[in-house]
Amino acid sequence: MNQLQAAFYEGNQRIRIGACTPVPPGASEVQIRVSYCGICGTDLHVFHGAMDHRVHIPQVLGHEMSGTVVTAGASVQSFAPGDRVTVRPLAPCGHCPACHAGHSHICHNLKFIGIDAPGALQSLWTVPVHTLHRLPESLSLEQGALVEPIAVACHDVRLGGVASGEYVVVLGGGPIGLLVALVTRSRGARVVVSEVNPFRIKLAREFGLDVVNPLETDLVQKIMDETGTAGADVVFEVSGSAAGAEMLTKIPRTRGRIVVVAIFSQPPKIDLFRFFWRELQLRGARVYEPEDFEAAIALAASGSLPLDRIVTAIQPLEALAEAMHELEGGGPVMKILVRCAES
Amino acid sequence: MNQLQAAFYEGNQRIRIGACTPVPPGASEVQIRVSYCGICGTDLHVFHGAMDHRVHIPQVLGHEMSGTVVTAGASVQSFAPGDRVTVRPLAPCGHCPACHAGHSHICHNLKFIGIDAPGALQSLWTVPVHTLHRLPESLSLEQGALVEPIAVACHDVRLGGVASGEYVVVLGGGPIGLLVALVTRSRGARVVVSEVNPFRIKLAREFGLDVVNPLETDLVQKIMDETGTAGADVVFEVSGSAAGAEMLTKIPRTRGRIVVVAIFSQPPKIDLFRFFWRELQLRGARVYEPEDFEAAIALAASGSLPLDRIVTAIQPLEALAEAMHELEGGGPVMKILVRCAES
């Protein structure tokens, strides 16, 4: 029998690998053997202590995962041991105004599993059954761990209303920006990615994406040239940078749509005059709804996304802290998966 | 015969009253005897020299008007001398990407008649026939001069998607904010106006509107109390103030809609994190489309708006400069009409 392990965040960039304490599933819960868990930008924020007010140290992080059901609670009918699954890690309260309005994914009291509750970076993980989505046989468990970030991208693209034939710009070519661009392309739209990191630029170009380094190329001019001076139909702000906040009003067409995906920890200056002048539209997009997970699974299973190449490394649980530092280094890395238990 | 007069802006807060030079209408134009012309915030901007790059000094200003057709051009079939009309003062180019996209009201090369071309503050005014809207007999010419700003409000409320029963906040209770609130109420929505000017507060309250002075009352708390902590369905930013820019992200519900109506000459700081967190939506709204003029005329003719009380003074053309100073004084004034010719 393999040893059951867990990675505990213990504050201030400290990760301790220790024994996983399996939690017996309640009536509406399942226990999952976690195969892979991806590392997300949010995990990096937690690692650096920026979210210590939300986590409970020692805290198991992680929410981009794949695994297999080990035990199902007494009331669980829709899933059984052996089922390959991923988890939509949201636990809404069910009774706040957002939940009543049908926006439970952004519930006023939302618990994000992996931040506000123990996460997937452990061998055995117990979660409510309502969070599960089944992985088809055609999807490997490695690929299944990418469903969560693909669902983010599917949500963003859906809220952006991207239609076939539209001209779309993605500001920022990290994992989410890249997936937004790939999902956009899968919808039949023309997409341009703006990114400054050389490795990210190279990788995105290998995927056949049109990538511009705005420090070298005049992005506004390129877009105006390619749209007959109309501007872009849709702009996704995934960089979280002041440069992105400034760019986002310069490039959309009249009534163009802007989707804010990135987290801006400080309010940037925004050209509201341009919103008025061009009747621009902006909306924020956060996490996902169940249909976005289903769309992500279908898209991943279609084989049309270069998922295996987005994963630039698979590391053992013991290498978690090292992997986190690597992700921050700006080097040749896109998505790192962590192996949590033997499949 | 009455003397034909015009008010000429001559730069730096100078207005000269001189002779109106009637322009014979071209084939698709009409000449109108202007009865009344309201003074708009944009006219004040021009008066102060802020738009000297657009006007051609000496420039006749004015675009909120009512009048009667005097002469119709050779090709004009839909209007005849004696018709009571107002003008939608937009001259789009017809061939730019915005025009092709069906957004000719925000054409890339839009000429705004009254800024980029001679305006209505004169006895006889010649305009393209496509700008005309007929005024019904039930609407006085004084009221007819309010159709243009009411159309702005109808456009804003339409783009905000205001529905019956919704909770709406209007930040700013000047002429446009007040009209947005009144149009919102006419759509069956609950509306709260935020305003600091005592006269504007008093007038809006006399119209039965719920008005809050945010310097005295905690607006956020009031809205949360009244919406069961949900927040407002729709927020209109009509103040153009830094305080408004800060407030606009604090009060909407999840996926609440924000409409930017005001002109922000400097980009304010905007809390994009809140857009992400609550999936807020924002759109700019500028001028109007033909259907907004028709909606404004129908609403004005319904008699349900307190139009006669929104007009706080009617002045002769000679008093234009004085009226402009009065509008800036923060005193007991809402909308001033200028009498341009005898009806």
pLDDT digits (tens, 9 = 90+) for B55-75: 999 999 999 999 999 999 999
Q: Answer yes or no: are the C-beta atoms of A65 and A131 closer than 8 Å.
A: no
**DSSP codes, B149-200:** HHHHHHHHHHHTT--TT-EEEEE--SHHHHHHHHHHHHTT-EEEEE---HHH
Three-state DSSP class for B144?
helix
Q: Answer yes or no: are the C-beta atoms of A338 and A39 closer than 8 Å.
A: yes
Question: Span B128-152, mean pLDDT?
Answer: 98
Residue of A nearest to B159 (CA): A279
Q: Which of these, B152, B219, B206, B209, lies nearest to B186 by C-alpha position?
A: B209
Does the structure show a pLDDT above 60 at B127? Answer: yes
Nearest chain A CA: its distance from B43 CA (Å)? 17
Q: Answer yes or no: are the C-beta atoms of B187 and B181 closer than 8 Å.
A: no
**Which tokens hold the place of A127?**
């979660």
Size of interface A-B (CB pairs under 8 A): 148
B45 touches chain A (CB under 8 A): no
Three-state DSSP class for B110?
coil
Half-sphere exposure of B45 (CA within 13 A, CB side): 14
| Percentage of the residues of chain B whose pLDDT score is greater than 90 | 97
Among left, alpha and beta (phi > 0; psi -120 to 50; other), residue B120 is alpha
The kind and range of the H/E element at B42 are helix B41-47
B42 touches chain A (CB under 8 A): no
Residues whose CB falls within 8 Å of the CB of residue A290, separated by 6 or more in sequence, listed in order: A88, A133
Cα angle for residues B40, B42, B47 (degrees, 5° grid)? 100
Q: How far apart are CA B211 and CA B12, in angstroms?
A: 36
Beta strands across the sheet bearing B59-60:
B15-19, B5-9, B59-60
pLDDT digits (tens, 9 = 90+) for B196-226: 999 999 999 999 999 999 999 999 999 999 9
Q: Answer yes or no: are the C-beta atoms of A20 and A118 closer than 8 Å.
A: no
Residue of B nearest to A96 (CA): B230
A279 touches chain B (CB under 8 A): yes
A96 touches chain B (CB under 8 A): yes
What local confidence, expressed as pLDDT, does residue A293 receive? 98
Please tell me if the domain spanning B5-146+288-339 has the same topology as the one spanning B161-284. Answer: no
What local confidence, expressed as pLDDT, does residue A1 receive? 39
What letter represents residue A91's amino acid? Answer: A
What local confidence, expressed as pLDDT, does residue B2 receive? 61
Nearest chain A CA: its distance from B269 CA (Å)? 4
Question: Span B10-35, mean pLDDT?
Answer: 97
Q: How far apart are CA A280 and CA A222, in angstroms?
A: 20
Kindly determine whether residue A277 and residue B286, on different chains, have CB atoms separated by under 8 Å.
yes
Kindly determine whether residue B97 and residue A231, on different chains, have CB atoms separated by under 8 Å.
yes
What local confidence, expressed as pLDDT, does residue A2 receive? 61
Instruction: Give the DSSP letter of residue A144.
Output: H
pLDDT grade for B3, boundaries at 50, 70 and 90: confident
Burial of residue A264 (CB within 10 Å: 0-12, 13-18, 19+) is buried
Q: Model-level pTM?
A: 0.97
**Which tokens hold the place of A19?**
């024994």
B184 catalytically annotated: no
Is the CATH number of domain B161-284 3.40.50.720? yes
The complex's ipTM?
0.97
User: Which residues of chain A lie closer than 8 angstroms to B268, CB-CB?
Assistant: 269-270, 272
B56 touches chain A (CB under 8 A): no
Enter the CATH code of domain B5-146+288-339: 3.90.180.10
pLDDT digits (tens, 9 = 90+) for B81-107: 999 999 999 999 999 999 999 999 999
User: Which residues of chain B lie closer than 8 angstroms to A231, CB-CB?
Assistant: 97
What local confidence, expressed as pLDDT, does residue B1 receive? 39
What local confidence, expressed as pLDDT, does residue A343 receive? 63
What local confidence, expressed as pLDDT, does residue B343 receive? 63
What local confidence, expressed as pLDDT, does residue B330 receive? 83
A283 touches chain B (CB under 8 A): yes
pLDDT tens for the 343 residues of chain A, in order: 368 999 999 999 999 999 999 999 999 999 999 999 999 999 999 999 999 999 999 999 999 999 999 999 999 999 999 999 999 999 999 999 999 999 999 999 999 999 999 999 999 999 999 999 999 999 999 999 999 999 999 999 999 999 999 999 999 999 999 999 999 999 999 999 999 999 999 999 999 999 999 999 999 999 999 999 999 999 999 999 999 999 999 999 999 999 999 999 999 999 999 999 999 999 999 999 999 999 999 999 999 999 999 999 999 999 999 999 999 988 899 999 999 997 6
Half-sphere exposure of B148 (CA within 13 A, CB side): 31
Q: Which of these, B262, B278, B79, B70, lies nearest to B176 by C-alpha position?
A: B262
User: Alpha helix (H) ranges present in chain A?
Assistant: 41-47, 97-100, 141-144, 147-159, 175-186, 198-206, 219-226, 242-247, 272-278, 290-301, 307-310, 320-328
Q: Answer yes or no: are the C-beta atoms of A63 and A112 closer than 8 Å.
A: yes
Other C-beta atoms lying within 10 Å of the C-beta of residue A80: 11
Other C-beta atoms lying within 10 Å of the C-beta of residue B316: 12
**Distance, C-alpha B208 to centroid of its chain:** 21
Kindly determine whether residue A270 and residue B267, on different chains, have CB atoms separated by under 8 Å.
yes
What local confidence, expressed as pLDDT, does residue A288 receive? 98
**DSSP codes, B235-272:** EEE-S-SHHHHHHTTTSEEEEEEEEE-S--SSPPB--H
Average pLDDT across chain B, whole number: 97
A42 catalytically annotated: yes
Kindly determine whether residue B272 and residue A268, on different chains, have CB atoms separated by under 8 Å.
yes
Domain residues of chain A, as ranges?
A: 5-146+288-339, 161-284
Interface probe, candidates A90, A110, A225, A272, chain B, greatest B C-beta count within 10 A: A272
A254 touches chain B (CB under 8 A): yes
Q: Answer yes or no: are the C-beta atoms of A253 and A234 closer than 8 Å.
A: no
Question: Span B165-176, mean pLDDT?
Answer: 98
